[in-house]
A = this chain, B = another copy of it.
Amino acid sequence: MLEKLRQVESQQNLELADRLHSAAIHLLRRLRREDSASGLSAPRLSALSVIIFGGPVTMGELAAAEQVRPPTISRLVKDLERQGLVSRKPDPGDERVQRVSATAKGKRLLNEGRRRRVSKLATGLARLSSKERRQLLHSAELLERLTLPDGHPDSRKTGRKEQQQRHRATEG
């Protein structure tokens, strides 16, 4: 009978996971169209945020923080650079690694873009009770903890050395 109970629990976890999944999809779709004005899509916003709050950061660290493969970051940073939002220079100690940092323009745009993007959501949040908001905050933190740990499955040795350094993306 303990077995039975465990099955019920895991079924509930599956359903909860499903709800969270669904909520996340809808949240992002809702927010997506808010960002076109600033030229900052969700991934760019997120990466830029890591760059700003994580200090000058390497490509590998960025990939790890964003949970994305190196080529994805490579292109993303190239684009941000073309927009004049970040700059990079090779690490003095190791010529292979690129250290990326944000420009003044990048910092300015992050705040504007972020605000624009999430402001609709923030408006909705304002209508909630402060207790509900506290719960949401707590939930967000829980989710980040559930999401980040134990690295990529098959991370092809990307950034082994630096991988334990975790950045908190898009916050600050």
> Hey, which bits of chain A sit against chain B, CB under 8 A?
9-10, 12-31, 33, 42-43, 46, 49, 66-68, 114-115, 117-119, 121-126, 128, 132-133, 135-144, 146-148, 153, 168-171
Describe A's contact surface by its main secondary structure.
helix
User: Beyond A25-B28, A31-B21, A128-B142, is A122–B67 a contact (Cβ under 8 Å)?
Assistant: no
Which of the residues B14, B27, B153 comes within 8 Å of A115, measured between beta carbons? B14
Give the one of A27, A66, A171 with max B CB within 10 A: A27
Is B21 within 8 A of A118, CB to CB? yes
User: Beyond A14-B115, A138-B135, is A20–B121 a contact (Cβ under 8 Å)?
Assistant: yes
Is A23 within 8 A of B115, CB to CB? no
| Copies of this chain present | 2
The residues of B that contact A141 with a CB separation of less than 8 Å are: 19, 23
The residues of B that contact A133 with a CB separation of less than 8 Å are: 12-13, 16
Name which residue of chain B comes closest to A125, CB basis.
Answer: B13
Q: CA–CA, A171 to B22, complex, Å?
A: 8
The residues of B that contact A19 with a CB separation of less than 8 Å are: 137, 140-141, 144, 170-171
User: Beyond A26-B67, A46-B25, is A14–B118 a contact (Cβ under 8 Å)?
Assistant: yes
User: Beyond A24-B24, A66-B29, A118-B21, is A132–B142 a contact (Cβ under 8 Å)?
Assistant: yes
Q: CA–CA, A26 to B152, complex, Å?
A: 12
Q: CA–CA, A51 to B133, complex, Å?
A: 32
